[in-house]
Structure 1
Amino acid sequence: MNLARYCLTNAAASDEAVALEVIGADGLLLERWSYGEIEDTVLRIASGLGALGLKRFDRILLRLGHSSDFPLLFFGAIAGGFVPVPTSEMLTAAESEAILRDSGAAAIIHDGKTVLPDGQARLIGPKEIEALKTAPAGSYAMTEADDPAFLIYTSGTSGTPKGVLHAQRAAAGRAPMYDSWYGMHSSDRLLHAGAFNWTYTLGVGLMDPWANGATSIVYDGSRDPEIWPGLIEVSGATLFAAVPSLYRRILKYGDVSSESFPALRHGLTAGEALAADLHEDWVMSTGRPLYEALGMSEISTYISSGPTVPTRPGSPGKPQEGRKVVILSEILPGEMFAEVGEPGWLAVHESESGLMLGYWNRPEETEQVFRSGWFLTGDRAREDEDGYYWYEGRADDLMNAFGYRVAPEEVERCLGAHPGVSEVAVTSIEMRPGVSLITAFVVPVGPDGMDETALAEWAGEHLAEYKQPKAYRFIDALPRTPSGKIRRKVLV
């Protein structure tokens, strides 16, 4: 099995079918690639990299901007049996150097614009990239399902980012998403708002459309929220994928109605929890469903709502068809399952083909997340009587209030339902040694702010006393990672 071959040959109707479109400002078409053209170029890059003397499974650091070169070189490396290491173009020299050092990459492919790390690795620049595209076409490397395919580094909301190594089987392991989340067909046109270095974009924006013979649409231009409704419409996108925070900004700054983007069937969202009020606002404004999925770099998505699983605001949905997902008891993880309604550890069975091979160079950490045949995601959740899962936050985000464990997501859901709150993040702040208080960081809806007393009264009506924030701070925006996740640990 070769991941690149699976994606490019699994379902394409013909070599002439459109695989990739790159659009610019106002939806202007900049590039159009057929499946035949993509595959030909990918196989030329695979052959060219081999001719440079790179060895099988050598890591190749990608320092590229958001252009068609990114997918061509990413899939070209995999096709040749090498292991691409995608990185954000926004990384500093020190950040990319840390990844270069940890990954042991033998080469760095760069576009001449991104910051390069210091280190001993072969540099492959713009001229060499053009030469790779015109090298004699080779063939797909004869890799096995469990051979390494790509190495992605986590966004690192705290601590040092760590490498997540995925196998050649990773793309095929995403198959349960096709029906359970997307309802995808070969006629679909999927526009993704994210950057290519993110697993959300690599998977949802490229692997899955191509594995279904659909068209991936890439936007290369400014990221102002008001431009997206027009881009969705003019591109003819039938599916649109983004993080919840972008949907919220689209509704706030864009011109959106039920008559907007008539080709769009529904929106897709992942990367952070979808607030119930945002879900309701999107449906009311557009008349289209917004389907959420819960996933992570180590496994992609495994819980979702979709065409066959009606949305339930506040819940990401149910385990996708065929997935082996459970909630383990917090008392004896791996040995007992949690009761219905009881919070516990969210786990995925180790037999899932989309599951990572492990953390790169971190065997102890890899061993820690596997227990009695289950991969412990580090997330907490509970299941209701109808089989819907409710996210209770990351285990390491739990706050301690007077001896009680409190999930920040529960408090955020409550405060986020207040009509005066646009966004909110909750964390525990140490006020003095040994004394920490649950603190809410609130982005008000209006420019004039809001009344702290009214918000505290709202919390008092909906939360147990020990769960209520003891301090409120009003801010203009929440700090986020490049992938859009809230950085609670930097809130002070």
Structure 2
Amino acid sequence: MPAIPDDRSPPPRFNGARYCLEENARLRGDKPALVLAGDGGRTQVLTFREIDRAVRGVAAGLRDLGLAPGARVMIRMGNDADYVVVYFAALAAGLVAQPSSPQLTAGEAAFLMQDSGAAAVVAAADCPLDPEACRGRIVLRQADVARLRAGPPLAEYADTAADDPATLVYTSGTTSRPKGVLHAHRAIWGRRPMHEHWLGLREDDVVLHAGTMNWTYTLGVGIQDPWARGATTVLYNGRRDPGIWPALVAAHRATLFAAVPSLYRQILKYADLPAHDLASLRHGITAGEALSPQLLAEWRAATGKPLYEALGMSEISTYVSTCPSVPVKPGSPGRPQPGRRVAILPVEGPPRPLPPGETGLLAVHRSDPALMLGYWNRPDEEAAVMRGEWFVGGDLASCDADGYVWFEGRNDDVMNAFGYRVSPNEVESVLAGHPDVQEVAVTELAVRDDVRVIAAFVVPRSGAAPDRAALLAWCGERLAAYKCPREVVFLDTLPRTPNGKVQRKRLAAGQGTA
């Protein structure tokens, strides 16, 4: 790959798909780009040349459908190669890719396509679509994608500006509905500090990622980053068994393995680690949840391999991390990556960075090329996260004298469920619709020192006796699985402030009124 310049700013004309694919197809066309591992040893391998050709074919087909530059293309597919192809094809055509989870219900997906104004929806057969929400939109199924892949390819990637919109991802915030985070093409360029200062990424690496393609953690660390360096990606689309991951590392000679802490914990509990050769693995990568010192020590003891953590979010991905050249301090996600402007700001008052040791809001300067363009049609929420020249995402933290960040919790009530941000308001609004529920509050609940789950605290209507299983089933019909509560606690009343606001922190601390 060409030498990476020292400057932080991308070229004025920049296309994220071209950056990841064009040079790779020319210089290393026969090298495996994407390896999809399935059940029973089933494997699909696509080279950089094949991926580039497929992306250009679908991009040309999307343009031929009459989609205008910047039109949103919602992707509602499973964990397969077409997901990757359609994502990069949208960027290649100058459109905006809108990844979504196949776990979403038809109602949740309908809200996203209506809120975004998606012009097209690309969906797998087993991903339900609301017919009314699809009215007036182009709907493509996988047979259509296959036809476009085989069609005449796009001659040139779209000549987009670095600041042109490229990706729209929806994330939970403090409201009852997810909000769209709009990223520019430059966001892919802005990930480059992570390559050296978190992943330790090299061209000869084989990166195994445990996530699904719709997740920004997977799209970024599992696909965009390896391809930006000419490395190979391995993803798994078989049965979700924690015991499979050591076998996949051994079978594909993976050098880096990326997952959330919850999965590392499950691997230690359920996998037969000594039965697999992990000699190829240099280290593990972890993000999405806090890595506890206990889990870090247990993984090291069991495998002899280090784990390198990072802290980030949908609006800017990761910007604080450890890496092979940054020693790990257990309990800290690390230091700001070189080239990042990171500060701790007061919760209230002028946005003047605080000195080491003081707790405040973790902030990133708005000049960072990886920072979002903004929230989709949410100017009020966008204004709320900008403090002068700084973006603040709600994380409370402090920095020590060595520059390490120490996470101190959230300044809002947003929860973290296995690496996904979940709004308690969204879950509460669903449960409040149950006929037996008078009041409800949702928060995280610690079930172990390093394990937290979503819990619903329910006040039943007078004379009603709601069943825990029925409430969970109610949620399961209306929410993606990762948003659903794992625990239901019945109370006589909810704890409130003198002004009537529910005190979720008291519920999380077990101070509800039974």
Q: TM-score, normalised by structure 2?
A: 0.79
What CA distance in whole angstroms lies between the structure 2 residues aligned with 1:157 and 1:362?
12
2:94 to 59, 77, 81: 81
2:222 to 205, 221, 233: 205
Superposition deviation, residue 256 in structure 1:
1.9
Tell me the alpha carbon deviations over residues 88-142 of structure 1, each in whole angstroms, 9 at most, x when there is no partner. 1111110000001000011111122211133221111222111110111112011
Q: Which residue of 1 aligns with 2:413?
A: 397
Q: Runs (4+) of structure 1 moved beyond 3 Å?
A: 9-13, 155-158, 257-260, 424-441, 469-473
Q: 3-state SS of the aligned residue for 1:171?
A: helix
Does residue 55 (structure 1) correspond to residue 68 (structure 2)? The answer is yes
Q: Which residue of 1 aligns with 2:336?
A: 319
| AA of the residue aligned to 1:108 | V
Q: 3-state SS of the aligned residue for 1:323?
A: coil
Q: Which residue of 1 aligns with 2:469?
A: none
- Work out the percentage of aligned pairs sharing the same amino acid: 47
Q: 3-state SS of the aligned residue for 1:268?
A: strand
Q: 3-state SS of the aligned residue for 1:149?
A: strand
Q: What count of residue pairs does the alignment treat as equivalent? A: 430
| AA of the residue aligned to 2:379 | P
Unaligned runs of 5+ in 2: 1-13, 416-442, 458-490, 498-502
What CA distance in whole angstroms lies between the structure 2 residues aligned with 1:394 and 1:439?
15
Tell me the alpha carbon deviations over residues 261-318 of structure 1, each in whole angstroms, 9 at most, x when there is no partner. 2111100010111111111111111100001000000001000011111111110000
1:386 to 386, 392, 402: 402
Contact 2:123 2:139 in 1 (8 A): yes
Does residue 133 (structure 1) correspond to residue 149 (structure 2)? The answer is yes
Q: Which residue of 2 aligns with 1:181?
A: 198
What CA distance in whole angstroms lies between the structure 2 residues aligned with 1:219 and 1:328?
40
What CA distance in whole angstroms lies between the structure 1 residues aligned with 2:21 and 2:251?
26
Unaligned runs of 5+ in 1: 400-407, 442-468, 474-491
Contact 1:298 1:356 in 2 (8 A): yes
| AA of the residue aligned to 1:423 | V
What CA distance in whole angstroms lies between the structure 2 residues aligned with 1:329 and 1:11?
45
Contact 1:10 1:212 in 2 (8 A): no
1:20 to 9, 29, 34: 34
What CA distance in whole angstroms lies between the structure 2 residues aligned with 1:82 and 1:397?
34
Q: Which residue of 1 aligns with 2:49?
A: 36
1:360 to 336, 355, 376: 376
Q: Which residue of 2 aligns with 1:299?
A: 316
- 1:391-430 equivalences in 2 (<5 Å): 391-397=407-413, 421=449, 423-424=451-452
Q: 1:21 to 1:395 in 2, by over 3 A?
A: same
Q: Which residue of 1 aligns with 2:123?
A: 110
Q: Which residue of 1 aligns with 2:485?
A: none
Contact 2:250 2:276 in 1 (8 A): no
Contact 2:57 2:153 in 1 (8 A): yes
Q: Which residue of 2 aligns with 1:165?
A: 182
Q: 1:50 to 1:426 in 2, by over 3 A?
A: closer
Q: TM-score, normalised by structure 1?
A: 0.82
RMSD: 2.6
What CA distance in whole angstroms lies between the structure 2 residues aligned with 1:128 and 1:391?
46
What CA distance in whole angstroms lies between the structure 2 residues aligned with 1:63 and 1:228?
25
2:296 to 279, 285, 289: 279
- 1:412-491 equivalences in 2 (<5 Å): 421=449, 423-424=451-452, 431-434=493-496, 469=509
What CA distance in whole angstroms lies between the structure 1 residues aligned with 2:28 and 2:206?
16
Contact 2:246 2:276 in 1 (8 A): no
Q: 1:146 to 1:219 in 2, by over 3 A?
A: same
